């Protein structure tokens, strides 16, 4: 469909502030009388705290207060209330807050940290879920049975299992009886870090009027507001949360992470704002980690390639507090089908307490990890069946009429998986491979298909406030956090289209303020364009209706006889009878000064339609909307070094409707590079004592300028019935297919199957040497 | 131990007192409140703190503040002339190179140091310069596009002046 302002590239409204250095990020905020906090981290990843002596630290220059967790009586969490703002009698991971110094400057605060003396009694440390699940494992949370949790969760008190989720579709495991061929595999997607360029930070200010004001680099201001209000026993309306510009998120600035800790610290100096900003090291050791997912997968198929049954067990090392991990596990479990239909599914996900920092959202939210397994398994199954892998996949793609693991029926409007796959096949596999190898390199090509749904929640709505001004320009406020994804541009374009006015006449909010912004659950799940967009469309419709209502009085007719074109409200049967919107914005002022009608403003929100909790089989409307896509890699492996070069990467997604071509390309470019990092470089490593070995950028390598491949990016547009103007989510999806596509390409190049990432040059060299030995033998 | 130093920053003469352990970034952000220069890591890896000192791009997070004595310093706040953006800013804003924008000031300053002294820099020189900066959002392609447009604009401006 042709739109006036959609499908065109507009420059982001925040670009100029960002190139002039005027965009305000958390650490750029200075408040009167502001103090600074530094936080002490433990020597052990799992230990009882015997004693803490803060007396020396209290005497240091500039120190205002030294804080410990002693006396803290509350726990917090959105899903399972297992979190504490500061360790009380026990530390459970190496990045946990043990004590904090509040001082006049960050330098003074950090200098005093060394003077705090803590005595520990160490406990056994578990890094991997399966270690922590062993029968003789020491409990990380002895009180698990007492924690409040969502009614849909199923914790296992007396063990380290924070939650078990199980899904059965069809005959479950019995379905394998119908299979001719069965393959099994175990895959590992190790711990990672979102590693956004801006480290986490918060400012909390307990005011004398008993209100609490907070600034945070977070994408969930309303969760912070509700959570802090609950913990401190004040009305939710007395907590005000501001979100400035955010320097990248990719997942780990969702949910409540550092805010409760900074609030606990600040509560000891009422009347003074306290700022804490993570060092890079703390950003990795003391916020949320990612992944930590082992997927054990069994697939049964008919001889002709028709998939029959899937059994998946997800072992999720959820970290020391599982509040943020449980939903990742659930998403990983029911999305482990990838974009395929299995008649029978037996899927289990364990969220397990481990002595690592808490694990939470990472771009893709439980989709990249199991689908890494699914897509590797598809290639392996094709070999076993002696079948073309594209043909095998095509036989089984979710399409109109099929049902996914959750029991949701797929419609044509869910998008065209097959078309995405065919296009990528054409782009990358359309011509025969030029060469298998030469003196220096092996060459390979690999493919992966993917799907993603948002992982919502029952109250996951997004609101929109809209007001028309007296010159016909429009101000739009929403609760969506701008982390770089460009949602302000999208808001502008969608509002312009819906209101039939040029985007330049739409001014979008900049910061979020829970006092003035409409409610939004959190800006997650690639939902903003579709769901937030729907809220904008609804608000625009209401605003236009309001204009018509006033105009009907002015023009002495009925509302349904009127039309709106962005400039005028006019009589359909005689457009010369009209009133300009500029005269309707504040109500209409008649010649004698009497004003009629309402202000031109509106409020609306939108959620995923009929999103539901899982039923007793673990099924239900938990996905609601899907984006399908296909990706492929062309790689070179250097014989001498084992280094992998990704020369070209292709992605095609069915996004429903492209809103802004420049931005959507940027989304995919960045997502693919992130996936490339996961496939080849990134892993947060622990030693046996639970210490993180690489908490810096020079150790935790994220892809650099010269490592970026050339990319081909295309879109298919099958309009979505939920999203605004047919648009679907795309923010996270580009990451998902990258590791399996690259690992499938590695097999194509050297005939070696890898089951875990990152595939480093050392691993390639080992594999090549092993292959050589085998050939000689 | 404090010491008094003087320098020119963004065309303004300034005199400040510094502690001996201070780095350039501490003076810029915490004393002068020029918050456009960003702190992204602990050990001079990410490039968000890059500024221009005496015509050269430097990492302000590991350059001792004492080196500012007598120097001519340019930060991201000093590039635009009133409402008029520097061509590098314009190119980076329009090429899609800005997503979260946290790495942007460092990259703009890196390009400024390179292109103002060497408008004919080769693509290798450009890519060596940009390789010193981490970006987690864009996949770098739009940054390269922006840098090439910036180079074009800087050359055009120079030929206009000549």
- HEC states along A641-709? CCCEEEEEEEEEEECCCCCCHHHHHHHHHHHHHHHHHHHHCCCCCECCCCCECCCCCCCCCCCCHHHCC
DSSP element (H, E) containing B14: strand B12-19
Q: What is the pLDDT of residue A776?
A: 84
Task: Give the one of B42, B102, B142 whose C-beta lies nearest to A248's C-beta.
Answer: B102
Taking CA–CA distances from A30, the nearest residue in chain B reads B33
B148 at the A interface (CB within 8 A)? no
Angle at A509 between CA A504 and CA A515, to 5 degrees: 155
CA A679 vs CA A156, A237, A443, A580, A745: distances in Å: 33, 45, 17, 57, 12
Return the CATH number of the domain spanning residue range A31-123+197-248+253-285.
3.90.1170.50
Whether residue A407 contacts residue A620, with contact meaning beta carbons closer than 8 Å, is answered with yes
CATH value of A290-456+613-776 in 3.30.70.100, 3.30.1180.20, 3.40.50.300, 3.30.365.10: 3.30.365.10
**What angle in degrees, to the nearest 10, is found between the helix axes of A389-396 and A368-385?**
120
Whether residue A188 contacts residue A371, with contact meaning beta carbons closer than 8 Å, is answered with no
Report which DSSP code applies to A6: S
Query: Minimal Cα–Cα distance from A282 to chain B, Å?
Result: 10
Rg (CA), chain B: 16
Tell me which residues of chain B, numbers 82 to 121, contact chain A at a CB-CB cutoff of 8 Å.
85, 89-90, 92-94, 96, 98-105, 108
B76 at the A interface (CB within 8 A)? yes
C-alpha to C-alpha distance for A643 and A749, rounded to whole angstroms: 13
Cis omega (within 30 of 0) on the bond before A658? Answer: no
Query: Residue A557: how many CA atoms within 13 Å on its side-chain side?
Result: 17
**Chain-centre distance of CA A661, in angstroms?**
22
Whether residue A217 contacts residue A197, with contact meaning beta carbons closer than 8 Å, is answered with no
A670 at the B interface (CB within 8 A)? yes
A24 at the B interface (CB within 8 A)? yes
Taking CA–CA distances from A25, the nearest residue in chain B reads B102
Give the residue extent of every domain in chain A.
31-123+197-248+253-285, 290-456+613-776, 461-606
Taking CA–CA distances from A283, the nearest residue in chain B reads B41
Percent of chain A with pLDDT over 90: 97
CA B100 vs CA A23, A310, B70: distances in Å: 10, 40, 34
CATH value of B2-78 in 3.40.50.300, 3.30.1490.190, 3.40.50.720, 3.10.20.30: 3.10.20.30
- pLDDT at B71 exceeding the cut of 80: yes
Tell me which residues of chain A, numbers 147 to 186, contact chain B at a CB-CB cutoff of 8 Å.
none
Confidence of residue B47 (pLDDT cuts 50, 70, 90): very high
A27 at the B interface (CB within 8 A)? yes
Same fold, A31-123+197-248+253-285 and A461-606: no
Taking CA–CA distances from A15, the nearest residue in chain B reads B93
Q: Which tens digits make up the pLDDT trace of B110-145?
A: 999 999 999 999 999 999 999 999 999 999 999 999
A·B CB contacts under 8 A = 168
Query: Minimal Cα–Cα distance from A276 to chain B, Å?
Result: 14
The full DSSP string for B50-97 is EEEETTEEEETTSSBGGGGTT-EEE-GGGSSBTTB--HHHHHHHHTT-
Confidence of residue B5 (pLDDT cuts 50, 70, 90): very high
C-alpha to C-alpha distance for B61 and B64, rounded to whole angstroms: 8
Across the interface, whether the CB atoms of B142 and A666 are under 8 A apart is answered yes
Which residues of chain A carry a pLDDT beneath 50? none
Across the interface, whether the CB atoms of A670 and B137 are under 8 A apart is answered yes
**What angle in degrees, to the nearest 10, is found between the helix axes of A738-750 and A368-385?**
30
Q: What is the pLDDT of residue A434?
A: 86
Domain B87-161 coded CATH 3.40.50.1220: no
Q: Which tens digits make up the pLDDT trace of A168-190?
A: 999 999 999 999 999 999 999 99
Residues of A in contact with B94 (CB under 8 A): 11, 15
Residues of A in contact with B103 (CB under 8 A): 197
Give this prediction's pTM.
0.97
CB-based contacts of A305, cutoff 8 Å, min separation 6 = A382, A385, A387, A391, A392, A395, A396
Give the residue extent of every domain in chain B.
2-78, 87-161
Query: Minimal Cα–Cα distance from A173 to chain B, Å?
Result: 41
Across the interface, whether the CB atoms of B94 and A663 are under 8 A apart is answered no
Whether residue A771 contacts residue A665, with contact meaning beta carbons closer than 8 Å, is answered with no
Across the interface, whether the CB atoms of B34 and A21 are under 8 A apart is answered yes
Beta carbons within 10 angstroms of residue B137's beta carbon: 32
CATH class of the domain defined by A461-606 = alpha beta
Whether residue A42 contacts residue A87, with contact meaning beta carbons closer than 8 Å, is answered with yes
A698 at the B interface (CB within 8 A)? yes
C-alpha to C-alpha distance for B37 and A366, rounded to whole angstroms: 35
HEC assignment per residue over A469-515: CCCCCEEEEECCCCCCCCHHHHHHHHHHHHHCCCHHHEEECCCEECC
Sequence-separated contacts (24+) of A104-108 with Cβ below 8 Å: A104/A35, A104/A36, A104/A62, A104/A64, A105/A36, A105/A62, A106/A36, A106/A38, A106/A277, A107/B19, A107/B21, A108/A36, A108/A60, A108/A61, A108/A62, A108/A63
Q: What is the pLDDT of residue A1?
A: 66
Q: What is the pLDDT of residue A510?
A: 86
Task: Give the one of A19, A246, A697 whose C-beta lies nearest to B100's C-beta.
Answer: A246
Instruction: Say if residue A432 is exposed, middle or buried (CB neighbours under 10 Å; 0-12, 13-18, 19+).
Output: exposed
The full DSSP string for A228-288 is HHHHHT--GGGEEEEE-B-S--TTTTSSS-SHHHHHHHHTTSTTS-EEEE--HHHHHHSS-
Q: For an interface test with A, give the residue of B105, B108, B137, B150 to mutate (most A CBs within 10 A).
A: B137
Q: What is the pLDDT of residue A777?
A: 78
Burial A385-420 (b: 16+ CB within 10 A, else e): bebebbebbbbbbbbeebbbbbbbebeebbbbbbbb
Length of chain A as a residue count:
777
């Amino acid at each position: 469909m042709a739109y006036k302002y959609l499908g065109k590239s507009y420059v982001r409204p925040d670009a100029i502030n960002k190139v002039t250095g005027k965009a305000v990020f958390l650490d750029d905020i200075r408040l009167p009388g502001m103090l600074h906090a530094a936080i002490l981290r433990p020597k052990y990843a799992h230990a009882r705290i015997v004693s803490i002596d803060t007396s020396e630290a209290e005497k240091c220059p500039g120190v205002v207060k030294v804080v410990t967790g002693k006396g803290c009586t509350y726990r917090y969490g959105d899903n399972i209330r297992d979190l504490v703002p500061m360790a009380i009698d026990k530390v459970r991971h190496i990045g946990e807050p043990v004590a904090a110094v509040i001082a006049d400057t960050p330098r003074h605060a950090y200098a005093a940290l060394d003077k705090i003396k803590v005595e520990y009694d160490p406990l056994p440390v578990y890094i991997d879920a399966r270690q922590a699940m062993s029968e003789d494992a020491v409990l990380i949370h002895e009180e698990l049975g007492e924690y409040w949790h969502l009614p849909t969760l199923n914790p296992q008190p007396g063990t380290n299992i924070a939650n078990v989720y199980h899904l059965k579709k069809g005959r479950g495991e019995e379905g394998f009886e119908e299979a001719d061929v069965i393959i099994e595999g175990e895959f590992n997607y190790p711990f990672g870090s979102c590693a956004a360029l801006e480290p986490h930070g918060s400012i909390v200010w307990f005011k004398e009027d008993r209100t609490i004001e907070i600034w945070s680099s977070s994408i969930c201001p309303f969760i912070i507001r509700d959570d802090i209000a609950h913990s401190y026993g004040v009305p939710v309306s007395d907590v005000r949360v501001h979100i400035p510009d955010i320097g990248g998120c990719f997942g780990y600035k969702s949910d409540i992470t550092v805010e409760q800790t900074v609030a606990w610290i600040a509560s000891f100096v009422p009347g003074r704002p306290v700022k804490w900003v993570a060092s890079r090291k703390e950003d990795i050791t003391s916020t949320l980690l990612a992944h930590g997912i082992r997927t054990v997968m069994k697939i049964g198929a008919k001889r002709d390639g028709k998939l029959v049954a899937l059994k998946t067990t997800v072992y999720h090392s959820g970290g020391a507090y599982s509040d943020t991990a449980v939903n990742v596990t659930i998403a990983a479990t029911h999305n482990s089908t990838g974009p395929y239909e299995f008649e029978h599914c037996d899927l289990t996900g364990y969220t397990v307490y481990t002595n690592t920092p808490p694990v939470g959202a990472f771009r893709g939210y439980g989709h990249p990890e199991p689908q890494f397994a699914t897509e590797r398994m598809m290639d392996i199954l094709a070999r076993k069946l002696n079948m073309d892998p594209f043909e095998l996949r095509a036989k089984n793609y979710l399409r109109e009429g099929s049902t996914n693991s959750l029991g949701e029926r797929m419609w044509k409007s869910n998008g065209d998986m097959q078309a995405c796959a065919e296009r990528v096949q054409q782009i990358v596999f359309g011509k025969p491979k030029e060469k298998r190898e030469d003196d220096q390199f092996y060459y390979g090509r690999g493919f992966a298909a993917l799907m993603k749904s948002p992982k919502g929640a029952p109250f996951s709505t997004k609101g929109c406030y809209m007001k028309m001004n007296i010159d016909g320009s429009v101000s739009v406020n929403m609760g969506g956090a701008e982390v770089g994804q460009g949602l302000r541009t999208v808001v502008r374009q969608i509002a312009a289209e819906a209101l039939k006015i040029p985007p330049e006449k739409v001014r979008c909010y900049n910061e979020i303020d829970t006092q003035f912004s409409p409610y939004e659950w959190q800006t997650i799940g690639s939902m903003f364009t579709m769901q937030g967009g729907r809220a904008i469309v609804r608000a625009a419709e209401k605003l236009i209706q309001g204009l018509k209502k006033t105009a009907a009085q002015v023009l002495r007719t009925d509302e349904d006889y009127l039309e709106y074109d962005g400039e005028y409200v006019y009589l359909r049967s005689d457009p010369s009878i009209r009133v300009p919107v500029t005269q309707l914005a504040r109500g209409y002022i008649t010649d004698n000064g009497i004003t009629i009608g309402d202000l031109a403003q509106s409020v609306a929100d939108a959620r995923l339609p009929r999103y539901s909790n899982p039923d007793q089989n673990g099924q239900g409307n938990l996905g609601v909307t899907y984006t399908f896509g296909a990706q492929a890699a062309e790689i070179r492996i250097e014989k001498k070094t084992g280094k992998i070069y990704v020369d070209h990467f292709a992605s095609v997604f069915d996004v429903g409707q492209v809103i802004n071509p420049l931005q959507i390309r940027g989304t995919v470019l960045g997502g693919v590079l992130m996936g490339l990092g996961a496939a080849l470089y990134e892993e947060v490593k622990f030693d046996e004592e639970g210490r993180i070995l690489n908490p810096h950028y020079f150790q935790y390598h994220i892809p650099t300028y010269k490592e970026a491949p050339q990319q081909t990016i295309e879109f298919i547009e099958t309009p979505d019935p939920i999203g605004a103007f047919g648009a679907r989510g795309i923010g996270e999806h580009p990451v998902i297919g990258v590791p399996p596509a690259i690992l499938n390409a590695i097999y194509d190049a050297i005939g070696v199957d890898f089951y875990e990432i990152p595939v480093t040059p050392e691993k390639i060299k080992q594999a090549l040497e092993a292959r050589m030995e085998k050939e000689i033998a | 131990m404090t010491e008094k130093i003087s320098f020119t920053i963004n065309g303004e003469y300034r005199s400040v007192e510094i502690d001996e352990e201070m780095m350039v970034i501490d003076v810029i952000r915490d004393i002068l409140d020029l918050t456009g220069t960003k702190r992204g890591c602990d050990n001079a890896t990410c490039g968000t703190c890059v500024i221009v000192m005496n015509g050269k791009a430097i990492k302000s997070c590991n350059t001792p503040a004492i080196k500012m004595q007598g120097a001519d310093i340019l930060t991201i706040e000093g590039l635009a002339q009133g409402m008029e953006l520097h061509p590098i800013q314009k190119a980076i804003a329009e090429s899609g190179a800005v997503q979260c924008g946290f790495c942007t000031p460092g990259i703009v300053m890196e390009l400024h140091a390179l292109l103002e002294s060497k408008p004919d820099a080769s693509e290798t020189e450009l890519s060596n310069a940009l390789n010193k900066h981490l970006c987690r959002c864009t996949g770098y392609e739009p940054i390269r596009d922006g840098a090439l447009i910036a180079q074009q604009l800087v050359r055009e401006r120079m030929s206009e002046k000549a």
